[in-house]
Structure formats: structure tokens, C-alpha cells
């Protein structure tokens, strides 16, 4: 597998929303991007607030742009705020440095894209993202040890 198509993106999204309902979480918004940072799927549950689509996309896009899960980007923002601020300026404010953005890799470790989830706490968002990617047989790369 070398690309995220619409069928795969929707499958990942369905698993993410199901994971959120199992917990249960607040209403989630899920964005799946391909390796080029292009939006393939965006689903917003009923009751999700106004900016959730932009936040979900920003978490996934930031993971792709910097090559690491958004949890690590959040840590960078605390340790090197000037750097992340400068990167976010270069990104026209589209970088969201909070957990919930996870890289999607195939079984060989090749980058396929990223998923971004928002709606609940960042930890729950990330948990749903990892669960969804793994449910379709791919590797979730949040940048942290399992």
C-alpha cells in the first residue's frame, strides 16, 4: 500500500468515531490527510463545535509538516516556543501543537499520511487516532513508545 484513498480514509474515520463512542468521548472531528498533506476525509460528529474541523486538520497537517506526532510538537512548543512560533508563522497559523495528530505508516514503515482528531481531551483524541489506524492494519506513529 502506498497511498491513502477515500475508501481507506473513511474506514479509518469510522474506526476513530467508533473508538470515541466506546470510551465515551465528547463529539469528535476526524481529518485524514494523504502524505502530501491533502485532505482526503473530514467527518464532524453532531454537536462538535465550530472550529473543530480546522483543529483536526491542523493536528494532522502539523504531524506531516514536521514528521512527528503532534504530542511531540506540543512538547517542542513548551521547550522551544520561539521555534514552534516561527514554524507556525511559516505555516500561516495552520499548525496545532496538541496531541491528536498521528502519522499513518504502512507495515513497512512508509509514510502514507496522517490523522488528526479533536473534540475531547488531547489524550483521548490521540488514543482514538491510534486505535483507528491500528484497526485497519496500519502503523500509528504518534512519536511515543507504546
Q: Residue 143's pLDDT is what?
A: 82
Distant-in-sequence, close-in-space partners of 138: CB < 8 Å, separation ≥ 6: 1, 104, 105, 106, 107, 112
Domains in the chain with CATH codes:
6-141 (3.30.450.150)
The distance from CA 22 to its chain's CA centroid, rounded to whole angstroms, is 19
Q: What is the pTM of this model?
A: 0.94
The distance from CA 71 to its chain's CA centroid, rounded to whole angstroms, is 10
Residue 36 phi, psi dihedral angles, 5° rounding: -85, 0
Q: What is the C-alpha separation between 109 and 9, in angstroms, rounded?
A: 18
The answer to whether residues 133 and 115 touch, using CB atoms and an 8 Å cutoff, is yes
Q: Residue 5's pLDDT is what?
A: 97
Q: Residue 145's pLDDT is what?
A: 52
Q: Residue 111's pLDDT is what?
A: 97
The answer to whether residues 122 and 97 touch, using CB atoms and an 8 Å cutoff, is no
Distant-in-sequence, close-in-space partners of 34: CB < 8 Å, separation ≥ 6: 3, 4, 40, 112, 113
What string of pLDDT tens digits covers the 146 residues of the chain? 579 999 999 999 999 999 999 999 999 999 999 999 999 999 999 999 999 999 999 999 999 999 999 999 999 999 999 999 999 999 999 999 999 999 999 999 999 999 999 999 999 999 999 999 999 999 999 987 54
Amino acid at each position: 500500500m502506498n497511498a491513502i484513498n477515500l475508501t481507506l480514509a473513511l474506514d479509518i474515520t469510522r474506526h476513530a468515531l467508533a473508538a470515541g463512542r466506546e470510551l465515551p468521548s465528547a463529539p469528535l472531528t476526524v481529518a485524514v490527510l494523504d502524505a502530501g498533506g491533502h485532505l482526503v476525509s473530514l467527518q464532524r460528529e453532531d454537536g462538535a463545535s465550530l472550529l473543530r474541523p480546522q483543529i483536526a486538520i491542523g493536528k494532522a497537517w502539523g504531524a506531516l509538516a514536521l514528521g512527528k506526532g503532534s504530542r511531540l510538537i506540543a512538547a517542542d512548543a513548551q521547550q522551544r516556543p520561539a521555534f514552534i512560533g516561527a514554524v507556525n508563522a511559516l505555516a500561516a497559523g495552520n499548525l496545532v501543537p496538541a496531541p491528536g495528530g498521528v502519522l499513518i505508516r504502512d507495515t513497512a514503515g512508509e509514510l502514507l499520511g496522517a490523522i488528526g482528531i479533536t473534540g475531547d481531551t488531547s489524550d483521548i483524541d490521540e488514543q482514538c487516532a491510534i486505535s483507528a489506524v491500528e484497526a485497519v492494519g496500519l502503523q500509528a506513529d504518534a512519536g511515543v513508545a507504546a
